[in-house]
Structure 1
């Protein structure tokens, strides 16, 4: 029976990767080779993709979001279908490890909410270099792998939030420290870092900034534990809990815009920042369709559509912020560090499970 590898086992030797220093700076390893020349969406690429007729996307995006993107791509390129395999990023990481270990090469392209996965897959030689014209021209180096192995498709936050029917604005928590107040015991909900890449990334940033002692105290607050980062906003809007201790901020924003009684909070200590990179597998069964999808996903038009529809943020320099929504520049952010997440992932899973008894 094949031994299950931990992320640390998979990434032995990658410890020399330098830490990403800015929010969104997720590609930690220095370039070892010249990045490939930028590729335009040409008739030849479209024809080759149409001959393959399919692209298989492994994705941590909310399923409705992934499906919306898939339908938009299918409308833009009739004859090419998009098959989406959706799960939490940490589960996708495990699934791909198992598939590659068993000789299964099913995935064409992957989007993860745990940018440290790119370090692993790149180290293993699983990724194929590809840089579209838009990625080369309009994405700062912080948002694309130096060897062309991936690009940041989305940026978003893991905030706290509250139900406006259950909590008055003046009583709402303003910081992570406020969540430790006994009045919130039994009234909070949060995601799980062993399932969600968003929560893994956010948990790492909280530990770095506030220490394990903070999570120890939070675990004593009888917090409702769910899996995905998409779940806390839903529990909040249903009134099952009054406060969201973590979870995706964009879900709260969309619910609020739909008239639900929820309000995001950007903690005084800073809000954890998450980048979602997308990469093509070197063993992709439909390589041309994967390249076409990657190029299309990072065009200004698709990035604008994605930003407007999902309330997430884009690394594309030409995308305009949605009117009425907060700008990243207006929010105090915690910094990302994909290499740091990679080093601590197994420890976070183990200690978190012990603290929260899940």
Structure 2
């Protein structure tokens, strides 16, 4: 877990405990709530600069979180971004604890813990861009989480593809579609995330919505489950233990390639999908003006370009990708649907 304030160096986690004592800015400041800031334009920029910073919790890769922060700081040089980068579950737990204890915490959050967002919206721990009046009228509806108790919440997708070991898979044998993973020649030669993992039920289920029999075909392939995450999966792929990685992150593949590993990624037909990373807001921000300014920035074309520059697999509303996107089906976050997907992948058991 990293807490990174730009321009002023890196704060280690050990220092974080003292921050709540040294500053009261995370306790809501003058009591201005999200969406109550009336300032716009240069007046807003000046007010945000007076606050000095915005606190941003982000669960994308470090490079992607940094790209958003640096892009904003370049645009608004008087406001720095404190970035806390961690996994989505860790950010959820940390933020909830901080909110309930009135400690310094995020002004803006970007993570993929959809079940937490559902609960946090109900409990008032976070608010949506729409409810705060910070959602642009022209924001595309297909880029809003608008089901399962969530409304008016913008999101982006870190699209996943199929990983291949280029020493073990000939160019002509590369999978071209998700259905190709069901080819008997790959039986026992693939690794993938643990079948019971709730985070991947959405991915598997969404693909199955578009590819008839996808889940059933995977159930016959003896895919080695690795609960260690994308980096661990790609390390095994790079070592030649497997020919195919059934779910691969471009960031992890690119990092391995940069070290000379014989790996590559394919974004197959009919399209790629992945976790929905949603933007939410602290209802009582420590830096209300900077929150509004940053909220406006993250939904801009400049922010989308910054993310795409850091990782071309991140799909956003205003930048075209090299692949078609299958927007994630949020129904697969429901416990019953997670269980259903796992049961099919386990051969009906």
Decide: shared fold, TM above 0.5. Answer: yes
Name the residue aligned to 1:167: 169
1:130 deviation in Å?
4.1
Aligned to 2:118: 119
Question: How many angstroms apart in 2 are the aligned matches of 1:192 and 1:268?
Answer: 23
Structure 2 residue matching 1:128: 3-state secondary structure? coil
Cα distance in 1 for partners of 2:217, 2:98 equals: 37
Structure with the greater alpha carbon radius of gyration: 2
Cα deviation, residue 105, structure 1: 5.5
Cα offset, 1:211, TM superposition: 7.6
What does residue 81 of structure 1 align with? Answer: 80
Query: Over residues 8-49 of structure 1, what are the superposed CA-to-partner deviations in whole Å (9 max), with x where a residue is unaligned?
Result: xxxxxxxxxxxxxxxxxxxxxxxxxxxx79988622222222
Alpha-carbon offset, residue 282 of structure 1: 0.6
* Cα distance in structure 2, aligned partners of 1:103 and 1:204: 38
Structure 1 Cα separation of the partners of residues 44 and 129 of structure 2? 13
State the 1:111 CA deviation: 0.8
Is the counterpart of residue 336 in structure 1 residue 328 in structure 2? yes
Contact between 1:126 and 1:283, CA under 8 Å: does it hold in 2? no
Which residues of structure 1 form unaligned runs of 5+?
1-35
What is the rounded CA distance, in whole Å, between the counterparts of 1:70 and 1:349 in structure 2? 39
CA distance in 1, matches of 2:135, 2:315: 15
Question: Secondary structure in 2 aligned to 1:92?
Answer: helix
Distance 2:295 2:37 in 1: 12
Secondary structure of the residue aligned to 2:281 is strand
Deviation at 1:65, TM superposition (A): 1.6
Question: Contact 1:114–1:274 (CA<8 Å) still a contact in 2?
Answer: no
Q: Secondary structure at the match of 1:315?
A: coil
C-alpha change, 1:51 and 1:86, in structure 2 (3 Å) is: same
TM-score (norm 2): 0.68
Quote the Cα distance in structure 2 between the aligned partners of 1:54 and 1:348: 43
Pairing of 1:198-347 with structure 2 (within 5 A): 199-206=200-207, 210=213, 216-218=219-221, 220-227=222-229, 229=230, 232-233=233-234, 236-237=237-238, 239=240, 241-249=242-250, 252=253, 261-268=262-269, 271-311=272-312, 312-316=314-318, 319=319, 321=320, 326-328=322-324, 334-338=326-330, 340-344=331-335, 347=338
Per the normalisation by structure 1, the TM-score is: 0.66
Q: Deviations over 1:322-351 (max 9, x none)?
A: xxx6242xxxx544222x133237945995
Unaligned regions of 5+ residues in structure 2, if any?
1-34
Query: Aligned to 1:127, what secondary structure does the other structure show?
Result: coil
**Contact 2:194-2:226 at 8 Å conserved across structures:** no
Aligned to 1:16: none
In angstroms, what is the RMSD of aligned CA positions?
4.3
